[in-house]
Amino acid sequence: MIERKSITKHITKALKRGRIVSLLGPRQCGKTTLARNFAQPGSPLYFDLEDPVDSVKMTEPINVLEDLTGTVVVDEVQRQPELFPILRVLADRVPLPAKFLILGSSSPDLIKHSSESLAGRVERIRIGGFSLDEVGKRELARLWLRGGLPRSFLANTDEESFTWRREYVQSFVERDLPLHGVSLPPMTLLRFWTMLAHYHGQVFNASEIARSLGISVMTVKRYIDILTGVFIIRQLQPWFGNIKKRQVKSPKIYFYDSGLLHALLGMQTMNDLLAHPKHGASWEGFVIEEVIRSVQPTDVYFWATHQGAESDLVFNKGGRMYGVEIKRADAPVMTPSMRNALEDLELERIIVIYPGKRRYSIHKQVDVVPFDEISGGMKKLFG
């Protein structure tokens, strides 16, 4: 059992200062386990809307919820959007006898309904699988290979982990995505996911995939948006600096979870991963997710020009712009691309993250930092 103290503390604080807290994340990322710290499944305060019994109870939500006190947990709340106006009424009572922790794995639905019905009453907390900070630096290789979804990471062997992830993907394309309006047959959807895996870390070309699958570009973009909404794909948008160079304007795509990426690409062991042509892109996406978790910037982007200058990650923190470069090299050095990014984007500094053990500077505004220092050192580096 891996305790997720930081997230639990965040939820606790959010419940103290607010009325409703929405916990968002992909299926099987540990939302239910975290919610057990506040109400136990099977208790009068816990409702799982995938459970037929609890779903029937919620056909009369006022009668079920109005007399409860404490923290009430509603899991998979997006399955009954008619609950949101009821939650608004219950959250506005004075005095307030109960607060609500609502769990969901579909961001667009939750955001839409909470924005319409719960404006000013809900605080959203986004979670994913385990992070390096939670599992410890010694587990870096296992976390990269298997990803952070708990059942994958905690499996007894790499083979068991790989099998679980393949079944997870299969279940997603057969059951979950059709509920969101994805009408492709499961085999075609699996092919679509595999094509996206080969795009991981690259600027997305919807036209190429549309031609391969025989569907429209707009359909491809809609499906990508759906996968983004259910926390499978991150669309990293380009940063448009006020410069004269022609800049890349399409997003890059990354799988949030490196383990799902590896399952789609057939990487079962660390040897498979290190020998695969996509291992560099996999490392880049893995590091990006860890940096975002550690620094918690408001918005994140990449930057690239058609002349070849680029920065893997740029973001605003404390009113200043920073850049991150990710290198799978023994001793990264200063590059023309970094100089261009510093000058064109007026960056405060650039951090180059690599898998080595020594921290050093290659420019007065550029530091090379070992990856395993991310959890403790990123906040200090970025103010």
Q: Quick one: three-class SS letters along the chain? A: CCCCHHHHHHHHHHHHHCCEEEEECCCCCCHHHHHCCCCCCCCCCEEECCCHHHHHHCCCHHHHHCCCCEEEEEECHHHCCCHHHHHHHHHCCCCCCEEEEEEECCHHHHHHHHHHHCCCCEEEEECCCCCHHHHCHHHHHHHHHHCCCHHHHCCCCHHHHHHHHHHHHHHHHHHHHHHCCCCCCHHHHHHHHHHHHHHCCEECCHHHHHHHHCCCHHHHHHHHHHHHHCCCEEEECECCCCCCCCECCCCEEEECCHHHHHHHCCCCCHHHHHHCCCHHHHHHHHHHHHHHHHHCCCCEEEEEECCCCEEEEEEEECCEEEEEEECCCCCCCCCHHHHHHHHHHCCCEEEEEECCCCCEEEECCEEEEEHHHHHHHHHHHCC
Do 160 and 282 reside in the same domain of the chain? yes
50: containing domain: 5-126
Q: What is the pLDDT of residue 136?
A: 92
Same domain as 136, residue 122: no
CATH code, domain carrying 27: 3.40.50.300
The total of structural domains in the chain comes to 2
pLDDT confidence of residue 79: 84
pLDDT for residue 285: 98
Q: Among 94, 126, 158, which residue terminates a domain? A: 126
Q: What is the pLDDT of residue 267?
A: 98
- Do residues 105 and 146 share a domain? no
Last residue of a domain, one of 103, 126, 149: 126
For residue 298, the model assigns a pLDDT of 82
Same domain as 138, residue 103: no
- Same domain assignment for residues 285 and 332: yes
Same domain, 137 and 97: no
Residues 334 and 294 in one domain: yes
pLDDT in tens, the chain (383 residues): 788 999 999 999 999 999 999 999 999 999 999 999 999 988 999 999 989 999 999 989 999 999 999 999 999 888 888 898 899 999 999 999 999 999 987 655 556 656 567 777 889 999 999 999 999 999 999 999 999 999 999 999 999 999 999 999 999 999 888 878 788 899 999 999 999 999 999 999 999 999 999 999 999 999 999 999 889 999 999 988 666 566 778 899 999 999 999 999 999 999 999 999 999 999 999 999 999 998 989 889 999 987 878 999 999 988 899 999 999 989 999 999 999 999 989 999 999 999 999 999 999 999 999 998 876 566 667 76
Instruction: Write down which residue in 105, 126, 147 finishes a domain.
Output: 126
